[in-house]
Amino acid sequence: MTLLGYRLPGMSSLIIWGLLWETVGQSGLTFFIPPLSEVVATLFSVIGTAAFQKALAETAYAFFVGVLSAICIGIPTGILMGKNRLLDELLLPWVNVFLSAPLTALVPVLMVLFGFGMRAIIITTTLFAIWIIILNARAGVKQINRSLVDMARSFGASPVDAFFKVYLWAALPEILGGIRIGIIRAVKGVIIGQLLISIVGFGALFELYAANFLMGHFWAVLIVLFALAFTISEVLAYLERRVSYYAAKR
């Protein structure tokens, strides 16, 4: 975007919102919004604390294990659904139901099934991420050029070769798109899991700060969380752009 002939760097709009936040905070309108400068100062003081690092480690662990399982289960399931009519008919209604279902409502059920520990949190995270990954992998396989499939067959590809050397790569742009959206949903999943199942990690920090009206701390942790999710999502978006040059050409 350009303003008065100057080219603005990306995300310049954040400056305006930051200024607005600072003004509202300084005016003392509500205890809920402390000045941004105070939040940032809190952020740096909080990051070094043991409590924060423990929360970060717990959250990161649940998040990565959850996302990894969603990817490892979701991609093959989606590809198989795209290739196999029967499996597709069987699973697609469920995938669609869970994609749009309010998963938060299911968390108590997960607690009954998997207990109150890390396992239930990880499964919650996986459940938030997996459905869109399945749907995107399925869509990616469905749009593979018919003649690429014929090519693999006519040159004698075994089913395993066709899967790893053709289908997976041909569906890669869609698969990466699914992973990116899945990861954004997993951030929600891991925090909801930590809040509802057992009060650990960032969920515990949110609970603690909110209960004690430490709004500076609350916002600081939220900013950290947002920054982490944003970074991961941007890295994946970059990868997507790297591979989509051929998606447009096929």
Partner 1 sequence: MPQTSAAETGTGATEDTAFEIAVSTRNISKNFGEVEALNDLSLEFPLGQLTSLLGPSGCGKTTLLKIIAGLLEPTSGEVEVNGQRVTGPGPDRAFVFQDFALLPWASVIRNVAFGLELRGVARSEREAVAESYIKQVGLAGFENAYPHELSGGMRQRVGLARALAVDAEVLLMDEPFSAVDEQTRRKFQEDLLELVQDQKKTFIFVTHSIEEAVYVSDQVAILLPRPSRVSEIIRPSSFRGKGVDNIRRDPEYLDIVDEIWASLRRYVE
What residues line the site for partner 1 (CB under 8 A)? Answer: 145, 147-148, 150-158, 161, 165-166, 169, 172, 243, 245-247, 249-250
Which of residues 148 and 214 has its CB atom nearest to partner 1 in the complex? 148
Across the chain, how many H-helices and E-strands are there? 12, 2
Nearest approach in angstroms of CB 172 to partner 1 is 8
Which of residues 172 and 232 has its CB atom nearest to partner 1 in the complex? 172
User: HEC profile for the chain?
Assistant: CEECCEECCCCCHHHHHHHHHHHHHHHCCCCCCCCHHHHHHHHHHHHCCHHHHHHHHHHHHHHHHHHHHHHHHHHHHHHHHHHCHHHHHHHHHHHHHHHHCCHHHHHHHHHHHHCCCHHHHHHHHHHHHHHHHHHHHHHHHHCCCHHHHHHHHHCCCCHHHHHHHHHHHHCHHHHHHHHHHHHHHHHHHHHHHHHHCCCCHHHHHHHHHHHCCCHHHHHHHHHHHHHHHHHHHHHHHHHHHHHHHHHCCC
Which of residues 101 and 161 has its CB atom nearest to partner 1 in the complex? 161
Nearest approach in angstroms of CB 171 to partner 1 is 11
Nearest approach in angstroms of CB 144 to partner 1 is 11
Which of residues 7 and 85 has its CB atom nearest to partner 1 in the complex? 85
Which of residues 89 and 150 has its CB atom nearest to partner 1 in the complex? 150
Nearest approach in angstroms of CB 85 to partner 1 is 16
Short-list 101, 124, 102, CA closest to 113: 124
Which of residues 170 and 196 has its CB atom nearest to partner 1 in the complex? 170
Query: DSSP label at 30?
Result: -
Which of residues 241 and 250 has its CB atom nearest to partner 1 in the complex? 250
Nearest approach in angstroms of CB 73 to partner 1 is 24
Nearest approach in angstroms of CB 155 to partner 1 is 4
Nearest approach in angstroms of CB 156 to partner 1 is 5
